[in-house]
Amino acid sequence: MGTRRKSRELVLQMLFQADMGRQNAEDVRRTFWGERSSVDAEVRGFAEDLFRVATDRTPEIDGLIERHAEHWRMERMAAVDRNIIRAAVAELLGFPTTPRAVIINEALEIARKFSNPESVQFINGVLDSVGRDLEKARA
Protein backbone atom coordinates (compact mmCIF):
# COMPACT_ATOMS: atom_id res chain seq x y z
CA MET A 1 0.00 0.00 0.00
CA GLY A 2 1.29 3.43 -0.94
CA THR A 3 2.15 6.19 1.51
CA ARG A 4 -0.73 8.42 0.47
CA ARG A 5 -3.28 5.59 0.63
CA LYS A 6 -2.18 4.77 4.17
CA SER A 7 -2.44 8.46 5.09
CA ARG A 8 -5.94 8.66 3.63
CA GLU A 9 -7.03 5.59 5.59
CA LEU A 10 -5.66 7.13 8.79
CA VAL A 11 -7.52 10.37 8.08
CA LEU A 12 -10.74 8.40 7.66
CA GLN A 13 -10.14 6.84 11.07
CA MET A 14 -9.37 10.21 12.64
CA LEU A 15 -12.47 11.83 11.17
CA PHE A 16 -14.58 8.87 12.25
CA GLN A 17 -13.20 9.18 15.80
CA ALA A 18 -13.97 12.90 15.87
CA ASP A 19 -17.44 12.37 14.43
CA MET A 20 -18.59 9.44 16.53
CA GLY A 21 -16.76 10.42 19.71
CA ARG A 22 -17.77 14.06 19.41
CA GLN A 23 -14.12 15.01 19.97
CA ASN A 24 -12.33 18.14 18.86
CA ALA A 25 -9.40 17.90 16.48
CA GLU A 26 -6.73 18.33 19.14
CA ASP A 27 -8.16 15.54 21.33
CA VAL A 28 -8.30 13.25 18.31
CA ARG A 29 -4.69 14.00 17.39
CA ARG A 30 -3.47 13.35 20.92
CA THR A 31 -5.21 10.01 21.40
CA PHE A 32 -4.91 8.81 17.81
CA TRP A 33 -1.18 9.35 17.41
CA GLY A 34 -0.51 8.22 20.98
CA GLU A 35 -1.64 4.76 19.93
CA ARG A 36 0.29 4.84 16.63
CA SER A 37 3.76 6.03 17.50
CA SER A 38 5.38 3.77 14.88
CA VAL A 39 3.67 5.38 11.86
CA ASP A 40 6.15 6.53 9.21
CA ALA A 41 6.82 10.29 9.30
CA GLU A 42 5.81 10.80 5.66
CA VAL A 43 2.52 8.93 6.17
CA ARG A 44 1.80 10.89 9.33
CA GLY A 45 2.72 14.21 7.71
CA PHE A 46 0.25 13.88 4.85
CA ALA A 47 -2.41 12.50 7.20
CA GLU A 48 -1.95 15.51 9.49
CA ASP A 49 -2.13 17.95 6.59
CA LEU A 50 -5.29 16.36 5.23
CA PHE A 51 -6.92 16.10 8.68
CA ARG A 52 -6.15 19.78 9.29
CA VAL A 53 -7.89 20.81 6.06
CA ALA A 54 -10.86 18.55 6.88
CA THR A 55 -11.29 19.95 10.39
CA ASP A 56 -10.50 23.59 9.61
CA ARG A 57 -12.97 23.66 6.72
CA THR A 58 -15.71 21.37 8.06
CA PRO A 59 -18.63 23.78 7.51
CA GLU A 60 -17.56 24.41 3.90
CA ILE A 61 -16.96 20.70 3.26
CA ASP A 62 -20.27 19.61 4.78
CA GLY A 63 -22.09 22.32 2.81
CA LEU A 64 -20.59 21.06 -0.44
CA ILE A 65 -21.50 17.48 0.39
CA GLU A 66 -25.09 18.34 1.27
CA ARG A 67 -25.53 20.35 -1.93
CA HIS A 68 -24.30 17.46 -4.05
CA ALA A 69 -25.81 14.52 -2.15
CA GLU A 70 -29.36 14.97 -3.37
CA HIS A 71 -32.01 14.16 -0.79
CA TRP A 72 -29.41 13.18 1.82
CA ARG A 73 -28.65 15.03 5.02
CA MET A 74 -25.22 14.48 6.58
CA GLU A 75 -26.64 12.86 9.71
CA ARG A 76 -28.54 10.28 7.62
CA MET A 77 -25.42 9.05 5.81
CA ALA A 78 -23.53 6.08 7.23
CA ALA A 79 -20.74 7.44 9.41
CA VAL A 80 -17.99 5.70 7.45
CA ASP A 81 -19.36 6.97 4.12
CA ARG A 82 -19.78 10.50 5.46
CA ASN A 83 -16.17 10.60 6.61
CA ILE A 84 -14.76 9.03 3.44
CA ILE A 85 -16.52 11.79 1.50
CA ARG A 86 -15.33 14.47 3.95
CA ALA A 87 -11.72 13.35 3.61
CA ALA A 88 -11.91 13.31 -0.18
CA VAL A 89 -13.58 16.72 -0.40
CA ALA A 90 -10.92 18.08 1.96
CA GLU A 91 -8.28 16.78 -0.41
CA LEU A 92 -10.08 18.26 -3.44
CA LEU A 93 -10.10 21.64 -1.67
CA GLY A 94 -6.70 21.57 0.02
CA PHE A 95 -4.60 19.80 -2.60
CA PRO A 96 -5.79 21.12 -5.98
CA THR A 97 -2.72 19.80 -7.80
CA THR A 98 -3.74 16.20 -7.07
CA PRO A 99 -5.89 15.05 -9.99
CA ARG A 100 -9.59 14.77 -9.19
CA ALA A 101 -9.71 11.25 -10.65
CA VAL A 102 -6.93 10.10 -8.31
CA ILE A 103 -8.67 11.50 -5.23
CA ILE A 104 -11.99 9.93 -6.18
CA ASN A 105 -10.43 6.58 -7.05
CA GLU A 106 -8.58 6.48 -3.74
CA ALA A 107 -11.81 7.27 -1.87
CA LEU A 108 -13.59 4.46 -3.70
CA GLU A 109 -10.84 1.97 -2.88
CA ILE A 110 -11.04 2.97 0.78
CA ALA A 111 -14.83 2.63 0.62
CA ARG A 112 -14.45 -0.89 -0.78
CA LYS A 113 -12.28 -1.74 2.21
CA PHE A 114 -14.17 0.00 5.03
CA SER A 115 -17.77 0.36 3.86
CA ASN A 116 -20.36 -1.79 2.13
CA PRO A 117 -20.54 -2.43 -1.63
CA GLU A 118 -23.67 -0.30 -2.11
CA SER A 119 -21.89 2.76 -0.74
CA VAL A 120 -19.26 2.87 -3.46
CA GLN A 121 -21.67 4.14 -6.13
CA PHE A 122 -23.15 6.76 -3.79
CA ILE A 123 -19.69 8.03 -2.77
CA ASN A 124 -18.59 8.13 -6.41
CA GLY A 125 -21.62 10.17 -7.44
CA VAL A 126 -21.22 12.72 -4.67
CA LEU A 127 -17.48 13.13 -5.17
CA ASP A 128 -17.75 13.38 -8.94
CA SER A 129 -20.38 16.11 -8.61
CA VAL A 130 -18.38 18.04 -5.99
CA GLY A 131 -15.18 17.67 -8.03
CA ARG A 132 -16.77 18.95 -11.24
CA ASP A 133 -18.27 21.90 -9.35
CA LEU A 134 -14.91 22.82 -7.79
CA GLU A 135 -13.15 22.60 -11.16
CA LYS A 136 -15.73 24.92 -12.72
CA ALA A 137 -15.24 27.39 -9.87
CA ARG A 138 -11.47 27.37 -10.39
CA ALA A 139 -11.74 27.90 -14.16
What is the C-alpha separation between 61 and 101, in angstroms, rounded?
Answer: 18
pTM to 2 decimal places? 0.94
pLDDT at 1 over 70: no
Q: Is residue 20 predicted with pLDDT exceeding 80?
A: yes
One-letter amino acid of 63: G
For the chain, the domains span 3-138
pLDDT digits (tens, 9 = 90+) for 42-72: 999 999 999 999 999 999 999 999 999 988 8
The DSSP element (H or E) to which 77 belongs, if any, is: none
Superfamily of domain 3-138: NusB-like (1.10.940.10)
Handedness of CA 66, 89, 15, 112 (dihedral sign): positive
Percent of the chain with pLDDT over 90: 82
Going from the C-alpha of 67 to that of each of 45, 60, 64, the distances in angstroms are: 30, 11, 5
Band (96; pLDDT cuts 50, 70, 90): very high
Around Cβ 54, how many Cβ atoms within 10 Å? Answer: 25
Instruction: Please state, as a whole number, how many other Cβ atoms lie within 10 Å of the Cβ of residue 74.
Output: 15
Over range 85-109, report the average pLDDT. Answer: 96
